[in-house]
Amino acid sequence: MLPRLVGWLVVWTATAYAAADDDPAPPIEVQPASRATPGSPMRPSGEESLASLWDALLPPAVSSPRPIFSDSFRSDELDRTKWELARGVELGEHWAGDGSRVRELRLAGRAGDAELRSVPLDVSELTVASVTYSARPENDAPAGELVVEYWNGAQWENLDKLRADLAHAKPAVRRTVRLPLAAYHDGFQLRFRTPRRSPGAWCLQHVAVIESPSGPAATLAADLWPARDAQVHIAVGNERPAFPAEAPYRRTFAAGTRLMLLAPAEAGGWGFSHWTVDGVAQPAQQRVLTLELAGNLDAIAYYSPFAPRAAARVEIDSAPLRVPLDLRLLPGMLLGEAAVAQRFLPGERIRLTAPAQTPRAVFRAWRVNGQPEAEGQTTLLHRVSGDARLTAEYDLLGDMNGDGRLDKLDVDSFMLALVDPQAYGEGHPGLNRVRLGDINGDGAFDEQDIDPFADLVLGE
């Protein structure tokens, strides 16, 4: 049986103790607690087994959208610092319906084969970003399709598509599309093109890549780091008849544990000589030995005048523990960011379970140190090997157009997703209509979600 070890659990700015042993512990309940200064210890007392400051958190201020890339084609020449490739395009002006002149870029090419491709952009540090563009088919001309794509690091993927029968020649159609998870890397590129043999031309008036003002509707993060300052003291016994014969002493700890071994000054009438660690002699007369456990080791304390038989042997086995941790997001955390920090020993296996849905938020995906995991999988298994930040991301329930807000602009997208899933998917790539639209949480997106959706939009 593994010994019971004591580690640190820090929830927001409070600190508490949690124990772990060799069998999986029951889920950790996150309960309300009092405040504490950052980094200060707080021992559990009474029913306050673990600390939490969920209810004390306030929603962060909503910042303005930050443009990562933007071009309105106002120069006489194409800006080559923004566009890597331009084939079959030309700059010009268009007389808008109000009599004003609008600069635009025309994609025509030969037989409709035109392409405009951005330079590589680093969006790897962004959490949520969108592409916004304005386009129109050329006046009174059958323009076919305008295809918008992004580079996922290996190939081009469809992001959006406009058909001439869905757009009016005057004015231009403005589209905003949220980037899917595969787009967030340091070589992101955006491409506009008209397919081969597509008749007519399309005109672009504005293109921008914008960081979402609020990111996910809510996040639940777990900060993990090795507990390398936790030391275990072992006092090697000197009871007879252990000496002068060898005295094995076995104990199992998690990898990464710091051990302090203290040998007695005398044992069996003989004086301490030195330690050896895996056969390597340590300085003479140094009774205190401090080690950081990276694997199995064999530490032996030698006593004179007998060597090597007059020895106290300490055999240490590395055996990572299993401490599951269950986290939950409270409904009041909408548009807020909650964090749980916990210290574990390296090698420990952590299970984090995020709620699939709250009355105002729906789970999207976990991120491990910024890298996305599979979408929709609320349970994350993680092995501690160093500092890590595990973040559960949530979207606004009912945010059917993916703009990070829940308002009346989502009504049309909601109804389109309900009556024509294919058209919704083409117009909102990267959005999961069932996950966002299942307001009543029954696992299906259907007419039963209409009334709950209306209540959400109206704030009831």
Token digits of residue 78: 């194409």
Among candidate residues 23, 78, 295, 322, the one with its CA nearest the CA of residue 192: 78
Task: Please give the full DSSP string across 238-276, using - where no structure is assigned.
Answer: --TTSSSS-EEEEEEE-TT-EEEEE--SEETTEEEEEEE
CATH 2.60.120.260 domain range(s) in the chain = 66-211
Report the CATH architecture of 66-211. Sandwich (2.60)
Burial of 323 (0-12, 13-18, 19+ CB in 10 A): buried
Rounded mean pLDDT for each run of 10 residues along the chain, 460 residues in total: 22 24 31 27 26 28 62 90 92 74 80 84 84 81 78 91 61 79 90 78 89 58 51 47 43 65 68 79 79 72 54 45 47 50 63 76 81 81 75 83 81 90 81 89 89 82
Task: Please identify which residue in the block is written with the tokens 């306030």.
Answer: 58
Token digits of residue 294: 């990276």
- This prediction has a pTM of 0.39
